[in-house]
Amino acid sequence: MPDMHEQGKPIRKDEICFEDLHLKPIDGAIQVVLPKMTPDQVDAVDPLIPPTSGIRLRILDKKDTGYSCPASKYTLFLRLFKAISTIVKEKLGRVARVIVTSDERPTSDALVKHALQILAFDGHELLVQALEKKTITLDQFTHSGMSTPYSSAAIAVLAGIDVVITVSASHNSATWNGIKFYFKQPIPVAGDLLKEISKKAIELVEIPLKSSSSVLLHADDIETRINDYVLDVIKHVIPIQGITGKPVVLWPYMGNAKEIHDLLLHYGVNVVKIEKTMEPPDPTVNLPIDEVKGYLERSGASLAILLDADRDRIVFIIKIGNNFVQLNPNELYTAMHNILARDYKKTIINVRTVPSDPRCDGNAACTIESGVGYKHLGMIQFVSSGIPVDKSQFESALIYGKLKEGRVKIESSIALLDFLGNNLPTLEEAVLMVLWEESGGHTMNLVKPRFNGTSLEKLEPVTPLIGDKFPAPAIILLAELINRGHDLVSAIDTSIAGQRVEIEADDKRKQAIMKAMEKRVGNQVIIGGKSYEVVDYRDNLGMLDIISFRSDQSVLFARPSGTGNSVRIYIFGEKVSGKKELENVADYLKNV
């Protein structure tokens, strides 16, 4: 089973041998003849367990010297590009305006170029990220680098964009790559539409490409326009003044994170950038702490911000006197929400995935728990704002309203608005609606509750709504709070600790574990000498998504990963005993 988090030296483009594609000329274009897919490849493109966000595939094989990129793996991406191009055209009844972007992993530029040739052959209008506005041919194209959060935001912030395709495998090893796709809304495509794309991709035999010299691209500095949106969001929260003139260490694990760098510069920060690629590009699992400490001490900075490859997972290292404190996403966002609610009197609608940290629930006006991934979180945001979403996305969503005692299942848009209306103040002023998940994503939207009497009609957007991971505002706000002297650690209930492990499981094993646990729902199980009640979390179709183990002192969650071959297990409980509990439950699930 391939590891998505392989640790080692960064992979350079010149280390990769790309196998030649089978090409044949057609009238004014080129045809890619596709190799036959193996059963494993069919399962990867159309997985049994629905992915939480896009499709990720292993694209490189390690050799004695360097890496190879087999055509059989590379063309899986071309299949998906063609399927997206075809289905979007059918859905719209016309050609689309499409932005294509990528991260900086070594296979991304080649994939983006082929995506642009495929889309151009079908007549779509193509946009890419660049430092200046101009029209170029694909022959002149070099790179359309933009983080996944900014790519998804583009469909909300820029007028007239129908589709965004971004090539990235997020925090995973550079031997992997992936595709995330947004259609009309900044919510990752899921449900029936993603299934339709997978089926179409598998059916393909040949794919035509437009000649690169005749592909026209509209280049623009999309990042700067999205940063204007970020500045607008932040000014509605608190004034930024504490970080002005202060040094801050910034370490993007892949690429240069120009968008975050520019935001910090806007607020007068003295940015000390570490320009070193890491493998895997994920600071939550690959953190050379001594190296970070050295940069903090030499620069005189009290804060280091570490970013994964697509800049949606963050780690903060804070220097307090002679001590260094590491805070991961769950802790950062929990502390920020508590401080904004408690010290700045902000009303917060707390929308989080079920396994996320519960230690800010008490300071929120209300808490909604969702299934894992922004296909759930973003859908909740849009439905509550009266914006239609694909019917299959709501049907496959997992939504619970958290009560002081227990929870209530939310199975309709009316029930969602009723829950929000019963918990929000009736004053029609802007509130913060935060969407966040245990793996690191965070999004902050500004909305105004609109009541008709005592009934909530909708949450009216103050700024364009983002329904995918978009942590840029949170990064700036957290840096500001730290430099104002707020102690993020003391803002969290430290009697409770959150921890996580993963156990290996392919899709069939994931299903077997969930089926076995489904039979135990509502019963007590004894694990490591401790009694737990087994509780289920189900989507609106009744499908089991997450299992919870509950004792008097702790709560654990287990759920199949939507991005890798694993089952993830989380605990919120006492720090020392919790680690042993986590190990015991992991062993139990391995053998269930």
Looking up residue 260, the CATH number of its domain turns out to be 3.40.120.10
Given a cut of 70, whether residue 224 has pLDDT beyond it is yes
Does residue 232 share a domain with residue 216?
no
* Closest-CA residue to 571 (of 528, 542, 511, 507): 528
Enumerate the H helices of 23-165 as residue ranges: 39-45, 71-92, 108-121, 148-157
Choose the final residue of a domain: 325, 355, 370.
325
Tens-place pLDDT, residues 385-402: 999 888 877 888 899 999
Residue 180 CB neighbours (<10 A):
25
- Judge contact between 144 and 130, C-beta under 8 A: yes
Domain boundary among 164, 196, 220: 220
One domain, residues 248 and 135 = no
Whether 421 shows a pLDDT value over 80: the answer reads: yes
Confidence tier at 377 by pLDDT (50, 70, 90): very high
Distance between CA atoms of residues 592 and 586, nearest Å: 10
Give the mean model confidence (pLDDT) for residues 525-529. 95
Kindly state whether residues 92 and 135 are assigned to the same domain: yes
Across 116-140, average pLDDT: 97
**490 domain-assigned:** no
Same domain, yes or no, for 213 and 84?
Answer: yes
Does residue 471 belong to any structural domain of this protein?
no
What span, in angstroms and rounded, lies between the C-alpha atoms of 396 and 538? 9
CB atoms within 10 A of CB 12: 12
CA 274/CA 294 separation, integer angstroms: 11
Band (562; pLDDT cuts 50, 70, 90) = confident
Answer whether residue 258 is part of any domain: yes
Residues 83 and 178 in one domain: yes
Same domain, residue pair 216 and 261: no
State how far the Cα of 56 lies from the Cα of 167, in Å rounded to an integer: 9
Distance CA 547, CA 527 (A): 15
pLDDT at 5: 52
Q: Give the pLDDT band of residue 186 (cuts 50, 70, 90).
A: very high
Closest CA to 146 of 130, 162, 124, 169: 130
- Tell me the per-residue pLDDT of 129-147, one tens digit each, with 9 for 90 and over: 999 999 999 999 999 999 9
Same domain, 157 and 257: no
Residues 106 and 36 in one domain: yes
Q: Three-state secondary structure along 270-317? A: EEEECCCCCECCCCCCCCCHHHHHHHHHHHCCCEEEEECCCCCCEEEE
CA atoms 105, 283, 45, 182: torsion sign: negative
Q: Does residue 258 share a domain with residue 115?
A: no
Which run of H or of E encompasses 338? helix 329-343
**What distance in Å separates the CA atoms of residue 581 and residue 592, rounded to the nearest whole number?**
16
545 lies in some domain: yes
Total number of domains constituting the chain: 3
Can you give the residue range of the structural domain that contains 27?
13-220
Cβ atoms of residues 95 and 122 within 8 Å: yes
Q: Cα(474)–Cα(312) distance, rounded to whole angstroms?
A: 11
Q: Using the 8-state DSSP alphabet, how is residue 18 labeled?
A: E
Across all residues in the chain, what is the average pLDDT? 94
> 77 and 211 share a domain?
yes
Q: Which of 284, 300, 325 is the last residue of a domain?
A: 325
Whether the pLDDT of residue 1 is over 50: the answer is no
